[in-house]
Structure 1
Amino acid sequence: MAHEAHSHEHGGGEMNWKLIVVSAVFLVIGLFLDNVETFRFINPYLVLLIYIVAFMPVGLPVMREAWEQIEHERDFFSEFMLMSVAAIGAFFLGEYPEAVAVMLLYCVGEGLQDRAVDRARDSIKRLIAFRPDFARLADGREERPEAVTIGSIIEVRPGERVPLDGRLLDAPAAFNTAALTGESVPRMIETGHEVMAGMIATDSIVRLEVVREASESAISRILKMVEEAAERKSSTEAFIHRFAHVYTPVVIALAVLVVVVPWLASLFSAADYAFSMWLQRALVFLVISCPCALVISVPLGYFGGIGVASRKGILFKGSNGLDAVTMLDTVVFDKTGTLTTGAFRVEQTVGLSPEDLAFVAAVEAKSSHPIARAVVEFMQGKPLATVDSACIVNVPGYGMTCGEWAIGTLRLMKKQGIVYDEALNEVAETIVAVAHDGRFVGYILLADTPKAGIFTLPQRLKAQGIKLMQVLSGDKQALIDKLIAGFHGHGFVKGYGDLLPEDKVSHLEALKKEGKRVAFVGDGINDAPVLALSDVGFAMGNMGADMAVETADVIIQTDEPAKVVEAIAIGRRTRRIVLQNIVFAIGVKVLVMVLGVLGVATLWEAVFADSGVALLAVMNSIRPLHRPRFEEK
């Protein structure tokens, strides 16, 4: 894009602003000498020289950009060419102050716009600071993260950032995860669990076993996705880019006609033709027609949306995703790991005495299975029985036995010939059955834990214009029905269980055949096909599988389903701001173009109108960066 090259030259750097100040000072001197009666004796060529000196610091860089656009990109109709033609024409007419003002105000506007761009980029630039420069090995040596191999042991001290993804080797420790998830509250990570690069150790020295190379770490993947986001253009952005390349030559042709048509008309009528007057009107037409307000503010609007979303733990892989979420009418959620934590909790115990539970928990404490951990956590703070580890026998896929005790699934009961109530086979939740001395004693009922805030999703999605919410899962239909009942959706929420991965794909295909615009929200490897098939795929980026994250269009770093609502709201607001810019910029330009051709608008007014429109459009574009909430419709 033309502006991208130009921003390097006029990017609001210290030296550029000095040149702008120099130009402004010489312009003021020229105007003073030109208009104060006392200085009429001064040679007009000296005044012209002063204006030329005022023009050079701001005009030459723009004209050089115009030439480079022609030389390297064969772009004869860039915004720089428009400004150059207008300025040269003004010099030709003897309107020296206007010629300088065209370039000076253009460069001032560009400098202010580039500052706005930099502010929009700040939230993403800060991510780079989250990537540490070194990794401290267990032996005290410091290496670049790129030089550390998988399996190495690294040490992170309190207040330092984790340089590489690793597995926690020490006792559970708290980490500040704000860089990755936007969460302000430190997260406690258990021994053996993964710690992501970019997190900050908060209260103790921790040792980690490196599990990924630097290029594949969490923070590197985020940076890569954010960098790629700028390359994935929305349909609106792509249209504006194409529009600018058609619009500019059309405008130049119209400016030529503004000069030529009155001349032709004068040949066949008695009307006088004043070449300088019509040339000046054509120059006004050219100046106001410069499309920089559109080509700068539209992509900046999308970049602002991507930036504010990233601060909230939502990574859009491109502005096309911001556009796509505004078109959705259906949101489909995976259940386990998406709407639920994937961590079991004890809901109920039936037929078991406190002594029975103390023994069962003591046996389960010898297992690392998630269900076993849930039972142990349920008994936390209560004394457990003393169990001889030598008596515990693991029965893979069934459970465990310990002497006369059998603890596990109902299939274990059947396997050991223990009679139990067959109605338990129809229970949706997970059951840990307990038998002693060949007799069924009772059972523990466990369920997956719903994530916080999921039951407010229906009303929040409705507020964003979503017409239907669905839940798909491989779990039993009875378990899905129980979860759906908690939503109180009244037909808005529907759930489907007993689904294989291919069934989920078929289900989404059916929705799309009905003409629905579907988002799918998931986290597992088996969700990758549906994420790819959906119009917008949301992946849980913290605990989600790598394949799901790679396939999705939007990554939810906090693993909160409610962030889907925020993502839709950010997309809607960003698109609204972009459309406002388009209507405003085109409307003002057309109005002043007409006034210029009619001779009502002067070159000064054209310059102010062009720079003013561009600056207002840019300021409107960065509004998402300063808006704290995004859930208005």
Structure 2
Amino acid sequence: MQKFRIDHIDCASCANKIEKALQKMPSVEYACVNFNTNILEVQTTDIESVKKKIKSLEPNSLLTKLYSQDFTQQRLGHEDFIHETHCDNPKQIHSTQKLQTKKTHRENPIRSEAILLALLLSGFLIAIVILYSSSLESFLNGLDIIYNISFSSQIFTLLPESLQKDISFSKVIAYILMILLYIIAGIPIFQAVYNNLKNRIIFDENLLMFIATFAAFCIGEISEAVAVMLFFRIGEFLESLALNRSKKSISNLLEIMPEIAHKKQFLTIQDSQNNRGSDNKQTWQDIHPRFLQQGDEVLVKVGEKIPSDGIIIRGQSHLDTQMISGESKPMSVKEGDNVLAGTINLSQALEVKVSQKFTDSQIAKIKEIVEKASSSKSKTQRIITQFAEIYTPIMFFVALVVAIIPPIVLGQIGQEPQWHEWIYRALVVLMVSCPCALVLSVPLGYFAALGVASQKGVLIKGSEYLEALAKLQNIVFDKTGTLTQGVFTIREILCFHNLTQDELLQLCVCAERFSNHPIATSLLDVAQHIDTHECDIQKHKEYKGKGVMVNCLGNSILVGNISLMEENKINLEAFYTYSESQDSNLLLESSSIVHIAKNGIYVGAILINDILKEDAKEAINQMRNLGINPLAILSGDNKNNVAYIAKELGITQFYAHLLPTQKAQVLQNLMDNHDAQAEKVGKIDSNKCNNKTTETHARGMPPHKVCAFVGDGINDSVVLASADIGISVGSQNSHNDISKESADIILTTPSLMGIIRVIQIARKIRMLSWQNIFFVLTVKLLIILLGIVGIANMWIAVFGDVGVALITLLNALRVMRIK
């Protein structure tokens, strides 16, 4: 797969045209043009023919090969972006030559286009004044020296007959000026029409514009023809400005990719007098981050971006993480802290040890997700695209019917055919037959929404999930790490069979050392202070949702929940005796319990506590205010602890002691509007769930409600994939590969408020999209009807095309105002 950036592609129809043409080529296996990011992805055996095809379709387009996963742009040689700066002390580095890449510096066309359009508009106004100002007309007619030149009569014969009757020198000047304005303003249109006809592409806005304006010339409506062409060109320019603004939110995110890394190296400098090597001299090489390897040490100066994920080995500072996490408050970091690529160093120089290759870093994965999301289409977008393909041809033939049928009918009944009048009316219909307002505003509205969400620390893997979020009715939560902080503290250690607390913790360390579950991580952190023996793990088996079993130094160790103990027939009499005591009731009710057995004998339990996230209650309340029902909590924890959290948040349904597959079964029942038998009981019979599903569908239950599941991504992959919308909550200590998560939406921070923000964005863009669809169809239909009856003219038709497109674009951009 090869990636290219296509510059000078100014409309979505151009991108679709290129994509369809490439897909028809026999040498092309796959082709996708993402207009939102101007990225072409193509799988082909003949890239040169692909380039030629694009050039034939869009001669002004410019193709630039992009980085692949492992190679730099155009696979530049290593020497092209390595520069050395020698220094004994990195703190004394004051300046370093910046990375030089082979980029083509192109002139910004916006300013030159604005100047040209201003001159064209001024010329048009002058021509209008000449035509309709009687005093100026008299003055110019008095200058009849040129008017009496013999060849002037030949010039007049080129004009339509309707204009030759009342010709004057002033009008000749005005019409010549208008013809020049028409040609200059229409050059891009004429070129596009020529290229499209050459490639057998007929029904597009350029051909329609050319036919409408040329026909207007032929029937003597010169000023209106020029006005239509000029204002169409101005409208295209204003649309491009609006497009650039809509792309800004995501382009800013994609531009945070670091471009330079100061890599530490040591050089051996020869002593010329003694002919022997001296001490190693520290140097810093400026290289592209893609060449960094795990274990490399880099210098990050103030104002620079962290080049790759790593750990701080020297220095302390503050980092700007807003573009990655959405958090505007700078984050304080010190030695030993993990840092992410793309964050900006704000206060002091840092030395960082690279922990991930650049291509495996979080920022690289974020970029990949955003690019893929921007190329996906929601259901509304797909409908609009299909509608646009049939709308233009239909309206073209409607205009043809309006131009031909009424004059013929009038002639048959003995009346004046009025060809001029009906052709003019047909041109009005033709002018509003372009669906650009819909084709542009709906996709770019969703694109802008994806960008706004990413700036707020929410990564959405496609527009379709935004559309689903707007319809969200129910939401189901995991508990540990999602509603709670996922950082456990030990409340009580119960020891039996003469084991000490340290010995019990030592058994946990042996069993949990290879697990990434939050409970395991917390237990390992707590046990850091004890002296543990050197573990010799001969066997390790993890039971998802239950615990682990290991063999260490000849001992069989079980660590997990009560289900794991019962399955292995461990006698829990000592624990039950403790649980019956009055003092233990409250403690057991609000604690998670980790049971430990050694060589088939129950030796103790560790009671741990996980507290609610600070914003959990506020987020749940705001969901209710938005009309979303926090339906249930699904957890593998014990019933008492899950009930305690559910009561704190006011969630009435909860399911405990669930394995990941059982979570998916319960979720499916909830999504199908079933009242699962396991409600508030804590265990679930999967057979009952399956039977009940069949019965309920047979009875014909209420329609399916859109349901989201929110989890922390650990052991939740099955249920995240089963939900209508899977939402993964980030963890402060998590460095999971986010590209491999089963979630459709990823919160890069632990805060649940990100869910509220993305729901608001989804509902906003859905409302704006339907506003635009209704507005466009209503205005166009009204202008078509008014044009057919002779009320609307071509000036109004210009508004119906360009003006409406601009209004809908600006309306779609209102999604960017969400705070």
TM-score (norm 1): 0.83
Which residue matches 1:401? none
Instruction: State the distance in 2 between where 1:56 and 1:480 align.
Output: 74
Q: Deviations over 1:560-594 (max 9, x none)?
A: 22211221121111000000001011101111111
Q: Does 2:453 align with 1:453?
A: no
**1:278 Cα offset (Å):** 0.6
Q: Deviations over 1:55-93 (max 9, x none)?
A: 123212023223334444x43111222211111111111
Greater Cα shift, 462-471 or 219-228:
462-471
Which residue matches 1:552? 743
**1:487 Cα offset (Å):** 0.7
**1:311 Cα offset (Å):** 1.6
Which residue matches 1:296? 440
Which residue matches 1:129? 255
SS in 2 for 1:164: coil
Unaligned runs of at least 5 residues, structure 1: 378-386, 399-407, 434-441, 629-633
**1:371 Cα offset (Å):** 3.9
Which residue matches 2:119? 22
Alignment CA distance shift 1:130-1:175 (3 Å): same
Q: Does 2:122 align with 1:31?
A: no
Identity rate, percent: 31
SS in 2 for 1:146: helix
Letter in 2 for 1:260: I
Alignment CA distance shift 1:546-1:448 (3 Å): same
2:727 to 538, 558, 562: 538
SS in 2 for 1:155: strand
Q: Does 2:212 align with 1:86?
A: yes
Greater Cα shift, 314-323 or 342-351:
342-351
Q: Deviations over 1:105-151 (max 9, x none)?
A: 11212211211121121121112332121112233222110111122
SS in 2 for 1:122: helix
Instruction: State the distance in 1 between where 2:297 and 2:807 align.
Output: 53
SS in 2 for 1:55: helix
Which residue matches 1:253? 397
Q: Does 2:803 align with 1:612?
A: yes
Greater Cα shift, 536-545 or 18-27:
536-545
Alignment CA distance shift 1:376-1:231 (3 Å): same
Instruction: State the distance in 2 between where 1:431 and 1:582 align.
Output: 55
Alignment CA distance shift 1:183-1:304 (3 Å): same
Alignment CA distance shift 1:15-1:410 (3 Å): closer
Which residue matches 1:439? none
Alpha carbons 1:12, 1:114 under 8 Å: kept: no
Which residue matches 1:278? 422
Instruction: State the distance in 2 between where 1:61 and 1:420 align.
Output: 83
**1:599 Cα offset (Å):** 0.9
Alpha carbons 2:761, 2:818 under 8 Å: kept: no
Instruction: State the distance in 1 between where 2:331 and 2:217 align.
Output: 65
Greater Cα shift, 276-285 or 196-205:
196-205
Alignment CA distance shift 1:17-1:123 (3 Å): same
Which residue matches 2:577? 422
Greater Cα shift, 163-172 or 7-16:
7-16
Q: Does 2:236 align with 1:117?
A: no
SS in 1 for 2:475: strand
Greater Cα shift, 313-322 or 606-615:
606-615
Alpha carbons 1:282, 1:597 under 8 Å: kept: yes
Letter in 2 for 1:58: A
Greater Cα shift, 203-212 or 185-194:
185-194
Which residue matches 2:13? 2
Alignment CA distance shift 1:536-1:292 (3 Å): same
Task: Give 1:431-446 correspondences, 5 Å limit.
Answer: 446=608
Q: Does 2:249 align with 1:238?
A: no
Instruction: State the distance in 1 between where 2:460 and 2:793 align.
Output: 44
Alpha carbons 1:338, 1:521 under 8 Å: kept: yes
Instruction: State the distance in 2 between where 1:231 and 1:393 align.
Output: 52
Which residue matches 1:480? 642
Greater Cα shift, 477-486 or 419-428:
419-428
Greater Cα shift, 463-472 or 51-60:
463-472
Alignment CA distance shift 1:579-1:70 (3 Å): farther
Q: Does 2:464 align with 1:320?
A: yes
Alignment CA distance shift 1:249-1:409 (3 Å): closer
Unaligned runs of at least 5 residues, structure 2: 1-11, 18-34, 36-57, 62-107, 142-167, 266-283, 514-519, 538-547, 550-558, 563-569, 596-603, 674-703
Q: Does 2:787 align with 1:596?
A: yes
Q: Deviations over 1:7-37 (max 9, x none)?
A: 9979972222222223213222322332233
Alpha carbons 1:180, 1:557 under 8 Å: kept: yes
1:563 to 754, 757, 761: 754
Which residue matches 1:404? none
Letter in 2 for 1:80: N
Alignment CA distance shift 1:419-1:206 (3 Å): farther
Which residue matches 2:778? 587
Letter in 1 for 2:239: Q
2:224 to 98, 101, 111: 98
Letter in 1 for 2:814: R
1:59 to 177, 183, 186: 186
**1:162 Cα offset (Å):** 0.7
Alpha carbons 2:319, 2:330 under 8 Å: kept: yes
Alpha carbons 2:713, 2:741 under 8 Å: kept: no
Instruction: State the distance in 2 between where 1:596 and 1:101 align.
Output: 17
Which residue matches 1:626? 817
Alpha carbons 2:477, 2:711 under 8 Å: kept: yes
1:108 to 211, 219, 234: 234
2:477 to 309, 316, 333: 333
Greater Cα shift, 84-93 or 342-351:
342-351
TM-score (norm 2): 0.65
**1:421 Cα offset (Å):** 7.7
**1:205 Cα offset (Å):** 3.5
2:331 to 164, 172, 187: 187
Instruction: State the distance in 2 between where 1:3 and 1:447 align.
Output: 58
Alpha carbons 2:130, 2:171 under 8 Å: kept: no
Specify which structure has the bigger relative contact order, considering alpha-carbon pairs within 8 angstroms and separated by 6 or more residues. Answer: 1
Alpha carbons 1:348, 1:444 under 8 Å: kept: yes
1:223 to 367, 374, 382: 367
Instruction: State the distance in 2 between where 1:528 and 1:260 align.
Output: 63
Instruction: State the distance in 1 between where 2:444 and 2:738 align.
Output: 30
Which residue matches 2:769? 578
Alpha carbons 1:293, 1:615 under 8 Å: kept: yes
Q: Does 2:343 align with 1:199?
A: yes
Instruction: State the distance in 1 between where 2:288 and 2:644 align.
Output: 51
Letter in 2 for 1:503: Q
Instruction: State the distance in 2 between where 1:154 and 1:465 align.
Output: 49
Which residue matches 1:436? none
SS in 1 for 2:476: strand
Task: Give 1:449-528 correspondences, 5 Å limit.
Answer: 449-489=611-651, 491=652, 494-514=653-673, 515-528=704-717
Q: Deviations over 1:140-190 (max 9, x none)?
A: 222110111122222323432111112344577643321211112233457
**1:548 Cα offset (Å):** 7.1
Instruction: State the distance in 2 between where 1:75 and 1:189 align.
Output: 58
SS in 1 for 2:432: helix
Which residue matches 2:554? none
Letter in 2 for 1:49: I
Which residue matches 1:383? none
SS in 1 for 2:773: helix
Alignment CA distance shift 1:611-1:165 (3 Å): same
Instruction: State the distance in 1 between where 2:415 and 2:220 align.
Output: 25
Alpha carbons 2:660, 2:715 under 8 Å: kept: yes
SS in 2 for 1:132: coil
Q: How many residue pairs were aligned? A: 595
Which residue matches 1:438? none
Instruction: State the distance in 2 between where 1:342 and 1:52 align.
Output: 73
Alignment CA distance shift 1:510-1:191 (3 Å): farther
Alignment CA distance shift 1:600-1:290 (3 Å): same
Q: Deviations over 1:401-437 (max 9, x none)?
A: xxxxxxx9999xxx9x99788334982524699xxxx
Instruction: State the distance in 2 between where 1:309 and 1:478 align.
Output: 37
